[in-house]
Amino acid sequence: MEKIYDVIILGGGPAGLSAGLYAGRARLDTVIIEKGIAGGQAATTSDIDNYPGVRNAKGPEVSEVMRNQAEDFGAEFINGDILEVDFSGEIKIVKTSGGEYRGRSVIISTGARPKKLGFPGEAEYTGRGVAYCATCDGEFFTDLEVFVIGAGYAAAEEAIYLTRFAKKVTVIAREPEFTCAKSIAERVFENKKIEVIFNTEIVEASGDEMINYAKFRNNVTKEAWEYKSGENFGIFVFIGYEPITEKFQGHVKMDDAGYIPTDENMKTDIDGVYAAGDLRPKMLRQVVTAVADGAIAATAAERYVSEFKRKSRKSESEKPKAKAPKEKDVIKDKKPGILKEEIASQLREVFQKMEKNVTLVTIVDESVKKSLELKEVLEEISELGDKLKLEVYKRGENPEIEEKINADKYPVVAFLDSEGRYRGVKFHGIPGGHELNSFVMSIYNLAGPGQGITSEILEKIKEIDKKVNIKVGVSLTCHHCPDAVIAAQRLAIENENIEAEMIDVLQFADIRSKYNIMSVPAIIINDSEVSFGAKKIEEIIEMIKR
């Protein structure tokens, strides 16, 4: 009999994680479907100072704790991209890249994405000077100047964060003053590396390969001024967000801007369907309001599911068994390692599902510090699964294996399948930060059972009959990058003509310079075509076919 969840939560940001915690605590059979890293925008925020009870916290750390709390109360996490939904029946259906899920209720918490301004040069120089995520791309602008466009919370907070790297940050605000809390604005004004220019808008940006020119205009006096530089500079756009709700068009009521209206209990116009977080029309979009929405939505869903079951006259024996909070796994007699025990515990759970052996092969160049560091990380990871093997060779020790995996950059680790064949999956960098997720998922996809994939997409992958090399340039702080890496490496796993390399471009200045990479993810096909931004597997296939 096909499983029916009590609650399907779409999106793993603060609203979805809060909903998962409350739903799990109410003993509802709960699944959270997230296409990337849990935490949403909070996971990309450097500092969280305005969340009650949490002082001077890092966004990724708060997000990790939220996920762990939801898991502790039994919430199941599924990685997948939403393809289609059907809310017309009593049982709601959600089709994803990882399979189809059915539930008695649904909580939509897919969040929002940064808006784009549309000024001349914005699209052309995205990835080559124009950026939208300070934690993802800030380090690329070390010792360079950057402009931050915006006057709200995000603009102020990210301007402060960017001073860690940039030699000067100029805030360009079309408003006459900041629209965020005064305490945050004061921190901006107090920072000696930040200049603020109000009543001003960006008109255009241009350059050669990278941005080195921008034009601005005062929207009161109409006076225009130009900024030219002998070196590259950056433009970070933080002008607000737009809801990620296009998959639900025609399934729930939306306003003209794409936001999903709800009542005070987060209910949409469809019974059993709720919305929470930044995709709702509301005055304040912060972590504190998102988690409140999630808690209310889960509580309302619990009441709806209880009534649903009562009306269906389901007996007690048919009800899902209550899930008790999971106790933390403990490794006895284990020395302190690189991985946190909570992460190691999660990895063991994934590796226990492996159907076939996977061998990790790393070639160590002792002159490269990161190569030695990678070896230590791999030694620790390989101990977490019986079907996970590790082979370590010094550079030059085994020329045959080096040629087999095309070892041309260090650090390097490649994946071999159960028959010892190189399957085109390779990492040039440490599988840490967000890229630990892509590393683990690529092992899972190679070993089986792997993430679900439609027969239509699989057929398109098999049709590729030419040799293809895909390089995915990433930074370990980029929450968009794992999706691109997993997609590219799934192509390699399913087609022997394809090789997919994850490259930490902050470790490879030559690659960064060759392809003018100032933003990630950067997807490079056959060392020629470069595309910036997260891409789905279908989009990468289309890039290959061009």
Q: Which residues are catalytic?
A: 133, 136-137
Nearest to 411 by CA among 397, 424, 427, 423: 427
**Nearest Cα to 427, choosing from 419, 435, 449, 347?**
435
| Cβ-contact 85, 92 below 8 angstroms | yes
Contact 500, 464 (CB under 8 A): no
CA 393, 397, 401, 406 dihedral sign is positive
**Cα–Cα distance for residue pair 194/10, rounded to 1 Å:** 38
Contacts of 383 (CB under 8 A, 6+ apart): none
Q: List the structure tokens of 153.
A: 């919370």
**Spatial contact of 121 and 130, defined as CB atoms under 8 Å apart:** yes
Torsions phi, psi of 225, nearest 5?
Answer: -145, 155
CB 182 within 8 A of CB 213: no
Instruction: Report residue 229: phi and psi, to 5°.
Output: -140, 145
Tell me the two tokens of residue 132.
């939208």
Residues in CB range of 61: below 8 A, 6 or more apart: none
**C-alpha to C-alpha distance for 534 and 485, rounded to whole angstroms:** 9
3-class secondary structure, 242: strand
Q: Count of CB atoms within 10 A of residue 542's CB?
A: 12
Copy the structure tokens of residue 25.
């605590």
CA angle at residue 256 from 239 to 263, to 5 degrees? 100
Confirm if 107 and 291 have CB atoms less than 8 A apart: no
Smallest CA-to-CA distance from 377 within 339, 345, 340, 409 is with 339
CA-to-CA dists, residue 257 to 101, 241, 266, 284, 287, angstroms: 28, 11, 18, 16, 21
Evaluate whether 268 touches 260 at the Cβ level (below 8 Å). yes
On the CB side of 494, how many CA atoms lie within 13 Å of its CA? 23
Q: How far separated are the first and last CA of the chain, in Å rounded?
A: 44
Cis peptide before 521 (omega within 30 of 0): yes
Q: Which two tokens stand for residue 535?
A: 């891409």
Q: CA dist 362 to 94, 385, 393, 413, 486, Å?
A: 40, 17, 6, 4, 20
Q: Do β-strands 47-48 and 57-58 pair in parallel, antiparallel, or remain unpaired? A: antiparallel
> At a CB cut-off of 8 Å and minimum separation 6, what does 332 contact?
none
